[in-house]
Structure 1
């Protein structure tokens, strides 16, 4: 068998690793020869740019044709007969490469910040011919073919060429936006892998289908920008966390679409006074019960609620209401579904090969290999993609602790130490620093937030000073301690007084967000209201006091949907929130309180300007454990920007309760969580109190039961 016939058989059998070496146009023995593989074609002609036609001979019954072009032409089209149908088509093997030499250099170096402009599927015109350029990274594959609607899902029709360090590419003429596609891969041992979805697909089918969909991004509308400075440390940041599939539903428990959400959700959030919305992961994912935290399509908004253009419209509507938009982003792990990233080219390409490094025991998911330049480039580019293409204003990074520690949730002997023998994941640390550096360099108005549940130092400090570079860190310790405190019967709270005080020992060590997130209202933890002790009156009073405490405490705020009106049951991703509860005054009162707390937080500089600065806080009462009372002053930049907060976590009313303040004169009671408007008993200070004169002014207060009062000095 000659070398030529060996190549011919490789093409026919769908295992040729360099189809351009054989197919397309070649000069041989002084002639311009064309070879084409068109299964099911009975006759094929080549037509040059002048219209001259040459019949190609069938050299294999499977549909392999070859022949010489007249006049030595370099441009041609094919005319093929399929039964009685005659089709003119362009040969994909006559077109130039898709990736430039600079692209290949940057991709190989791992510094290509915009791989989403090159990898994936991109509608374009080459040599004046419309089609789609497909590019995928699979360095260990023997052969990669793109299959889809445009070739009857036949892997022999469009084998790709490999370039650089393993980037397979092919321009498919007349493929178009809307086409479904996947990659057919033969691994390094000759194994035929399950069809793989495109890691950089910009759209995907609705589960349980798993094909990628070609999207023309040039036609994707770009959302308007959010208000300037919305993420600043001195700005009010109050985040409403949302799972899009269960906020509201319609009809027979059906999802709202992105467009329907755009009509309702931003207006609702703005009415309640929140400044931001945070979506649980919107990346395409196969399993509803993962809530998006096990994504398979990192570049594709989930098709559950509509198209990428529909998602863009939702972001635009949020910005139109003045809201910042944050996304939950999951670079810590991914599922092992056969069509996904796992064992992508027949090897552990995106993940670690060793399961002691490459698999999460808790979640059964795979861990990215942060030591591989292409993987880090993939993740960093994905972060930049959401900020650029969809004008996202911030990324909350999920499960950062699981990335930082090699022994995270692993038994002794079940993990591999770093090169120094330690438990720190040095490669993940470098990745997170690069991610934050590039995000803030490219998008200085954006922000990032880490869900980091340990005492890892300097999470939200600049990389140049040894930090991880995040804009904010979730304060998980504050959340655990304070929920533990508020869940106790008031008679026992004096023994847990430190749960409230302790958070202020480290409150300014990071730029903190105080989270009451989805994780706190699932898996048997009960709703936030469900944690409150006592009879119904006490439960709701406790909740109002706790929410007031949260908004008065230093740090930005985050609240999961449903908490704002006192959802009774745990969150269920398969059901809408219990909106009917708002027909009851006590739930409506909780919602009204959240609206007013947000208004106060936004409009009083003392409550937000120095959220992350110790000069913005001063304890006034810390030692009244027996009374369950705390008091402090929040400070703004201006000398008169002050707010006194007094919180009573007991069911007793305290009369003539003396509290020192920085200024004499009138102090207005600007919010009282015991107001009848919120469902309280209306105990308070009738709107204002006058502080005594002298060097140590004091207020003589009436402190309502299970309530907080906010007072500001008259200007």
Structure 2
């Protein structure tokens, strides 16, 4: 049956009715709901499956029987009201009666100031406005939805409540931002957006870019989150954090993949709450200062480890709901641990339900594949020069700090953002306006997000994984830098691991691999990373990188970790390496915790815990991590014996000598220059029996005696255990 004829003047045009029923009306809010037509107030509704429809005001006053105009469920009526107001319907068919509210009788939730700041690209609270927010509006409880799709003909919210029918909840277009308040819907509602492109094509259903919760993969719909505010109990931690200068504060980071750190006996994931109960006390007991999680933003594919996210605002549902993630962060803070998240603004996957060609056009990415496509990862690249995209990503960074009290973001693949020719051959990239290969728009975006984080969240910090020598990564934005607080020291990692992988008999020829790092050690504020990237894709574990038999491998690894903890810079160690995981890391299974039953593995774990304790308790080891006055070579050129020694120092602190012997040959009566005469206590010895070493050393202390005509006023004779590092702290008389 089609549209009835002989309509009155107040009734809708046949073409408008047909357009609504077909889901093609260009302005649903201008047509459906309550409107003045001349002197009359007219109510129009599209309610599929209804045979009769009666209208009421919010307080229950009857407005009359709606006249059917189309068998698909279009009704209208002239009603006696004097203003726009929410309307309730009673619908009926052969199966029964149901009640619903008219979403088109409500006004807009977004206001003119939102329009202004969104249009300007300067809105810094988009996460409060966009996406799905359960609320009470104009006296009715429901959920407000808002999404950016400027080139769409129509955008609708769809879900089980409307049979995934895009004709039933089309949204209001506000200069490219589409919004609608849908009564009754609330926590747990599953939804997506149906978008009709400018050419009339109905696109694959899209997840909400601002969704705060998502279904558990492989399903990928967005979920209306519980709006109940989380009750934080970390005020003491947050107040103390605000006063930290992290450059001069211990920072020892335990990098964790939440899905494979530990698992339940049946092989399933631990929940956020179980991680709070198990991971947090373990990391605190080990003496770490921070946990760093591989990306927790929602992602569809487990083997991506989170680095191809599709829901930047949603903690992954694999481990629980957003409140569960908040409880994990809260528990970490209560235990004195900060939380760092890996964050991925460098690229996004092209899954059809995600951001790719979101409204039928290259909205978040570049149209030109030379700018908008990543050949390395088969992903799309954000268009950082588009103000809406820059705002989207900036808001996402701020969201994690504000909503989940995150302490830092480690930004992945920064180099791929900075260089237009990253992993591209000549002719495969587009130069900037000056003809160069620097992505000026990405630089401006990174400067913006870093400046906003440091301005809004005292004590928070940003870390760059930047694998080139781009200048000023951790320099402030006002000085022309990118504005990060820290940068991963990829050179240290590569050089030192290359040295350690060599047979000790050859190390004398590669001594520079350990000394070269000091040439640039203070050009940035560095984090020394032994990350997940070093123990995957055929690289083996840290333990298996070490040469020699089993004893020598453990001795090498103990000496190397102690060397790193004594070296200037913040520390990062990937999970499992603290106890000598033998197998290469796999996201498909838990770490081999049973290894701790073996003395060598338990000894290595004890060493890392003691290294963290020494690093945190000795100011000389951390207060000048990023400044040259905190370091002085004592022995840098003993190539023949592969021995290095240096002093760590800080104002008002007792100096610490760090000395490493990277051969399996013990050295007796080894002379070491020192700055002070007197007793130097052995604070740590990686060869100690407690760590499953050979238990050789200096009986706990040495005496430094005065010397003349040397560059330092004192000297001591040491016993250097084989493949070992020793920390000696000066003890004032």
TM over 0.5: yes
Matched, 1:252 2:266: yes
**Aligned 8 A contact 1:222 1:389 in 2:** no
TM-score, normalised on structure 1? Answer: 0.98
Q: How many angstroms apart in 2 are the aligned matches of 1:57 and 1:545?
A: 85
- Cα gap change, 1:71/1:592 in structure 2, threshold over 3 Å: closer, same or farther? closer
Q: How many angstroms apart in 2 are the aligned matches of 1:480 and 1:86?
A: 70
Q: Secondary structure at the match of 2:559?
A: helix
What is the aligned counterpart of 1:15 among 20, 24, 42? 24
In structure 2, the residue matched to 1:82 is 93
In structure 2, the residue matched to 1:44 is 53
- Cα gap change, 1:9/1:349 in structure 2, threshold over 3 Å: closer, same or farther? same
**Aligned 8 A contact 2:35 2:84 in 1:** no
**Aligned 8 A contact 1:17 1:162 in 2:** no
**Aligned 8 A contact 1:98 1:133 in 2:** yes
**Aligned 8 A contact 1:631 1:645 in 2:** yes
In structure 1, the residue matched to 2:654 is 641
- Cα gap change, 1:161/1:520 in structure 2, threshold over 3 Å: closer, same or farther? same
Matched, 1:64 2:74: yes
**Aligned 8 A contact 1:17 1:161 in 2:** no
Q: How many angstroms apart in 2 are the aligned matches of 1:523 and 1:74?
A: 63
Q: How many angstroms apart in 1 are the aligned matches of 2:618 and 2:230?
A: 39
What is the aligned counterpart of 2:698 among 659, 682, 685? 685
Q: How many angstroms apart in 1 are the aligned matches of 2:194 and 2:680?
A: 72
Unaligned runs of 5+ in 1: none
- Cα deviations across residues 209-246 of structure 1 (Å, max 9, x unaligned)? 01000013333444625342456111000000000000
Q: How many angstroms apart in 2 are the aligned matches of 1:528 and 1:71?
A: 75
**Aligned 8 A contact 1:664 1:694 in 2:** no
In structure 1, the residue matched to 2:714 is 697
What is the aligned counterpart of 1:621 among 635, 638, 660? 635
CA offset at residue 52 of structure 1? Answer: 3.3
Q: How many angstroms apart in 2 are the aligned matches of 1:29 and 1:54?
A: 20
Q: How many angstroms apart in 1 are the aligned matches of 2:227 and 2:595?
A: 42
Q: How many angstroms apart in 2 are the aligned matches of 1:480 and 1:266?
A: 30
What does 1:129-278 correspond to in 2, within 5 Å?
129-164=140-175, 166-222=176-232, 224-225=234-235, 226=237, 227-228=240-241, 229=243, 232-278=246-292
What does 1:52-451 correspond to in 2, within 5 Å?
52-72=62-82, 74-75=84-85, 76-164=87-175, 166-222=176-232, 224-225=234-235, 226=237, 227-228=240-241, 229=243, 232-451=246-465
In structure 1, the residue matched to 2:726 is 709
What count of residue pairs does the alignment treat as equivalent?
A: 713
Unaligned runs of 5+ in 2: none
TM-score, normalised on structure 2? Answer: 0.96
Matched, 1:535 2:549: yes
Q: How many angstroms apart in 1 are the aligned matches of 2:245 and 2:629?
A: 20
Q: Secondary structure at the match of 1:563?
A: coil
Q: Secondary structure at the match of 2:288?
A: coil
Q: Secondary structure at the match of 1:34?
A: strand
In structure 2, the residue matched to 1:598 is 612
CA offset at residue 151 of structure 1? Answer: 1.6
Matched, 1:567 2:587: no
What is the aligned counterpart of 1:658 among 663, 671, 684? 671
- Cα gap change, 1:688/1:602 in structure 2, threshold over 3 Å: closer, same or farther? same
CA offset at residue 150 of structure 1? Answer: 2.5
Q: How many angstroms apart in 2 are the aligned matches of 1:521 and 1:589?
A: 21
CA offset at residue 546 of structure 1? Answer: 0.3
Q: How many angstroms apart in 2 are the aligned matches of 1:260 and 1:82?
A: 49
CA offset at residue 53 of structure 1? Answer: 3.1
In structure 1, the residue matched to 2:601 is 587
In structure 1, the residue matched to 2:645 is 631
CA offset at residue 413 of structure 1? Answer: 1.2
Q: Secondary structure at the match of 2:365?
A: coil
CA offset at residue 412 of structure 1? Answer: 1.6
**Aligned 8 A contact 1:42 1:82 in 2:** yes
CA offset at residue 680 of structure 1? Answer: 1.2
CA RMSD of aligned residues (A): 1.3
Q: How many angstroms apart in 2 are the aligned matches of 1:479 and 1:669?
A: 27
CA offset at residue 4 of structure 1? Answer: 2.2
- Cα deviations across residues 555-607 of structure 1 (Å, max 9, x unaligned)? 00000000000011100000100111101000111001001100000000000
CA offset at residue 90 of structure 1? Answer: 1.6
**Aligned 8 A contact 2:654 2:731 in 1:** no
